[in-house]
Structure 1
Amino acid sequence: MIQREVENELLFRVNHFPVTAILGPRQVGKTTLVKILRAVLPKESLYLDLEIPSDLAKLSFDAELFLKNNDNLTVIFDEIHRLPDIFVLLRGLIDQKREAGRFILLGSASPDLLKNSAESLAGRISYVEMHPFHYREIAPANYRDHWLWGGFPLSYLAKNDKSRNLWLTDFLRSYLERDLPQLGLSVSPLLMRRLLMMIAGMQGGVLNYSMLANSLGVSQPTVKNAIDFLEQAFLIRRLQSYFINIGKRLVKSPKIYIRDSGLLHHLLNIKELDSLLGHLVAGGSWEGYIIQEIISLLPPDALPFFYRSQDGSELDLVIEQGLGISLAIEIKLSDSPTISKGNTISLQDLGNPPLLIVTPSANDYALKPNVWVCSIATLSKNMHRFGLNAFN
């Protein structure tokens, strides 16, 4: 059994907030984790899977009476988006008896899609995002396998390539044909699949809604709405540009990534490491893979951006904390990295923050003053050195 890094953080929230919401993509391990943690919750618990008709029926007749009869328990609602009207009731019950650990909500949609929770439970709820396996959770396993296969538990732990590919195919079909429509997306599954394949082909590129809309033969608002849903369902990430008034023209459009590298490679029909390394998307895939690792480490007050000017000066990732950039990061698919003139200019633009260069497997060393090289294996340790590891 692989221990999930988020366990301690989840228990902390349950002990301090009336409602804790565990959000993340489907099949990421939310249900498995909460069932394991039931044994160490501060109170006994009641688990309700709202996709099971018998559990849903318990709340269909008189949900208030049912929950009041169980107010001595921590009630766990799995797939909470199936019962959106319950948030107002939860607020009333919490206000009548305000104590930590009353409810745990599990969902496959962001707070933006669960608007009722954001509005009804403001001040009463704490959100925890659960990601697919991070490399540091499965280390010292081979990072190449993790990069190629991704971090979804049933993909990473599959016994063979055939079962892994079948799982990814079913996972994607379920999201496109069932989950996204349930969340309110009206775009056809076929169009969504084509959109995801186009996004995969431009992994790490600057998002151009007009180009995507023209290629798909739909309007820009349709593409933007579809991308909004994909992001809020935790399948893609739009990394925003860092913009400050420094007297030069900056790229302001976001960069776009498929979050999970295994899903990315499945969309591109990449099944072997040699095929990946020879593919045009290899650099963007490695960049997205490392960005996912880094963002999953960040404390709540640290915000990730990329930096790029119109003249080509850029940095893959800059971390804003407080009033400025606390760390810049370059991601290299090479164990002999160098920094470009554009990197140096960008660092100067941003006040010369420290620069960390992340490689596949180089030893840690100082490349030059205020510039350090590390590997994916030592990334967590190095992020901690800069005060940017929420779990250490």
Structure 2
Amino acid sequence: MIKREAEKIILSLAEQFKAVAIIGPRQSGKTTLVRYIFKNKPYVNFENPDIRLYAMEDPRGFLSNYPDGAVFDEVQRVPEIFSYLQQILDESNNNGLFIITGSNNFLLQETISQSLAGRVGYLKLLPLTLNEIKDNKSTASQLIFKGFYPSLYSNSIKSSLWYSNYINTYVERDVRLIKNISNLVTFEKFLRLCAGRIGQLLNMNSLAIEIGVDNKTISAWIGVLETSFVLFRLQPYHKNFNKRIVKMPKIYFYDTGLAAALLGIQNSNQLDLHPFRGALFENMIIVDLLKTRFNKAKTNNLYFWRDNVGNEIDVLLDNGATITPIEIKSGQTVTTDYFKGIKYWNKLTKKEGGYVVYGGTMAQKRSNNITVVPYSKINNINNEE
């Protein structure tokens, strides 16, 4: 098993809270990790129809089988159980009693906030980080194409075959669970169009026209993709510094391999010269920064900034007291153009510092405290509150 960075903080949460909820996309390694950490706890998978029916029809009787707690997998399938779980947690003096996992953010958070608020410690577990993989042999294009789901690193399955199955399972099964979408063919077209808009401003009107549905439907479908950890919105930084700024979010995928599959990219060699390579490289870096935050049970503190004349910063890390600018460049050779955005930002904010993450291998320290970081070493970027 690949050692996960979240292991230590999950143990810490179990010491502080009566229950721990680990949520994230399907196949991100939640089950493997919790069964490894809590190997002495009974394991229950609510994807099993018999178990699910038992828990729904007789929740008290079902829970009486686990007086010392358990690991409950895909618990969003039985939301009825949460009200009964609340009483058990309230009557117990033990922390780390139940460990619950789920791949549907909305359903899980809604039921937990209603029944178990204050009793549960949260952690979002996304696919592997670059640091967890520790792959020094693959190129950036190979990593982008392969993606970061643990199954792809523990089995010899071809990534194109794995993602084809993942997309079919997701559209046919998970989407129906979240929202009753009748035309799944249209939804899958929408999913592929979103992959073609990685790193771009989210223009719902444009998507609505291209798909042939209204803006409300697009908004609801974006919500479905966010809820099931397929994509996320990177919000614009809110301070304008006396400039007119862009207020629309950008969209990125939680996994570049999935995005590449949706774009119809067949192999990593094809990606080397693909027009989306820069956007996918940017996506890989941004989501890796997000994974590192989530692995510490911290909230998303990433933003982008762009004014109305095109000055832009790819990522801002908002740590409250400090705002750190990051520029992302897929090229392997550092040029003066890489620093233009950060220099403009630092002049505007009267600060110095920042990072340039690029596709090369050599770290560099530049003037005005700007650090050039190879993509394979982005875990060295300081993002602490």
Structure 2 residue runs without a partner (length 5+):
none
Inter-partner Cα distance in structure 2 for 1:143 and 1:243? 38
SS in 2 for 1:316: strand
Change (3 A) 1:99 1:373: same
Aligned pairs for 1:199-238 (under 5 A) are 199-238=194-233
SS in 1 for 2:355: strand
Contact 1:331 1:358 in 2 (8 A): yes
Inter-partner Cα distance in structure 2 for 1:284 and 1:22? 29
2:306 matched to 1:311? Answer: no
Post-superposition CA distance 1:247-269 (Å, at most 9, x none): 21100100011221111111112
Task: Please give the root-mean-square deviation of Cα atoms over the aligned residues, in Å.
Answer: 2.0
Structure 1 residue runs without a partner (length 5+):
none
Inter-partner Cα distance in structure 1 for 2:249 and 2:86? 36
Aligned pairs for 1:338-377 (under 5 A) are 338=336, 339-377=338-376
The AA in structure 2 aligned to 1:5 is E
SS in 1 for 2:36: helix
Q: 1:335 is matched with which residue: 332, 335, 338?
A: 332
TM-score using structure 1 length:
0.91
Contact 1:331 1:357 in 2 (8 A): yes
Inter-partner Cα distance in structure 2 for 1:295 and 1:351? 27
The AA in structure 2 aligned to 1:177 is E
The alpha carbon displacement at 1:323 in A equals 4.3
Inter-partner Cα distance in structure 2 for 1:283 and 1:19? 41
2:45 matched to 1:70? Answer: no
Contact 2:326 2:342 in 1 (8 A): no
SS in 2 for 1:205: coil
The alpha carbon displacement at 1:362 in A equals 3.0
Q: What is the total number of aligned residue pairs between the two structures?
A: 378
Aligned pairs for 1:248-327 (under 5 A) are 248-298=243-293, 300=298, 303-325=301-323, 327=324
Contact 2:56 2:80 in 1 (8 A): no
Change (3 A) 1:198 1:61: closer
The alpha carbon displacement at 1:173 in A equals 1.0
Inter-partner Cα distance in structure 2 for 1:55 and 1:353? 57
Contact 1:134 1:293 in 2 (8 A): yes
1:54 counterpart residue number: 50
Change (3 A) 1:120 1:375: same
Between 303-312 and 357-366, report the one with greater CA deviation: 357-366
1:84 counterpart residue number: 79
Between 205-214 and 120-129, report the one with greater CA deviation: 120-129
Contact 1:259 1:292 in 2 (8 A): yes
Contact 1:336 1:362 in 2 (8 A): no
Inter-partner Cα distance in structure 2 for 1:61 and 1:301? 36
Inter-partner Cα distance in structure 2 for 1:258 and 1:152? 13
Contact 1:185 1:226 in 2 (8 A): no
SS in 2 for 1:328: strand
Inter-partner Cα distance in structure 1 for 2:135 and 2:152? 18
1:148 counterpart residue number: 145
2:30 counterpart residue number: 30
Between 300-309 and 120-129, report the one with greater CA deviation: 300-309
Q: Identity over the aligned pairs, expressed in percent?
A: 31
Aligned pairs for 1:107-146 (under 5 A) are 107-111=102-106, 114-144=109-139, 145-146=142-143
Post-superposition CA distance 1:298-343 (Å, at most 9, x none): 2526610000001101000001112451x11111112323335444
The AA in structure 1 aligned to 2:327 is E
Inter-partner Cα distance in structure 2 for 1:89 and 1:151? 37
Between 204-213 and 92-101, report the one with greater CA deviation: 92-101
Change (3 A) 1:129 1:376: same
The alpha carbon displacement at 1:170 in A equals 1.2
Between 340-349 and 188-197, report the one with greater CA deviation: 340-349
2:5 counterpart residue number: 5
The AA in structure 1 aligned to 2:7 is E
